[in-house]
Chain A
Amino acid sequence: MSVLTQTLLTGTGYWNSLAWILGIAVALVIAYLIWARGEAGWKAGTSQTEPFISGNPEPQKRQVHIPSGNLYWGYLEAMKGYYERIVPLHTGDLNDYMTWYLSVMITILVLVVVFA
């Protein structure tokens, strides 16, 4: 618990950021050593450094950028049943906002009175 060791006791466990950083540093060094053993003999400016797309010409930069709307399509498709229910609840209608607020208040009141 001292300032020097910086160990945060979390009840059942502990967390020491400095030890973690040390561990990450060791892991990075190992990763660097593995990377440094790789092939060094590539030539810049030749087809060795170009992306390989089965011989097709490289498309324009604008076309290879994936906008965010296309990301996580699979997740959204898999969770469709959930999103079809939850998104329409966000109606943007002020009366609905108020209804939710008051109904939550009444629900809490009922719970508090029932379990009192």
Chain B
Amino acid sequence: MLWNLPYLAVVIITVIGLAAILLKKNLIKMMLGINILQSSANLFLISLGYREGGIAPIYTLAPSTHMVLPTPQALCLTSIVIGLATSALMLSFAVIIHKKYGTVDLDQIRRLQG
């Protein structure tokens, strides 16, 4: 059961992230919710890639044990970079919205409707 602990953490973090996205009326807090959701995805990828006692697949002088491809770590790095770009773009949008609308309350940011 202990092995599933990281996955349990993934679920809890996902729920926290989704709750922030669904319930928070503040644009910045909602964006933080997306960041939390991204972290849970990263944690998920990293936990998938862990094998106890596994080593990196370097064949020179390798001991005879399991080798683990570092693909999930590579995916996670890519995902972190994408997450950074996402956050930067969203926050820059928030800055413009705050400048033009004078608020970051989602109830006020609804000039497009109907």
Residues of A within 8 A of B (CB): 87, 90-95, 98-99, 102
Q: Is the interface of B mostly helix, strand, loop or mixed?
A: loop
Check B98 for interface membership: any CB of A closer than 8 A.
Answer: no
Residues of B within 8 A of A90 (CB): 113-114
Report how far A102 CA is from B90 CA in the complex, Å: 20
For window 41-89 of B, CB contacts with A under 8 Å fall at none
Residue of B nearest to A87 (CB): B114
Taking residues whose C-beta sits less than 8 angstroms from the other chain, chain B's interface range is: 10 to 19
Least distance between B25 CB and chain A CB atoms (Å): 7
Residues of B within 8 A of A87 (CB): 114
Contact (Cβ within 8 A) A99 B22: yes
Check B95 for interface membership: any CB of A closer than 8 A.
Answer: no
Residues of B within 8 A of A98 (CB): 21-22
Check B96 for interface membership: any CB of A closer than 8 A.
Answer: no
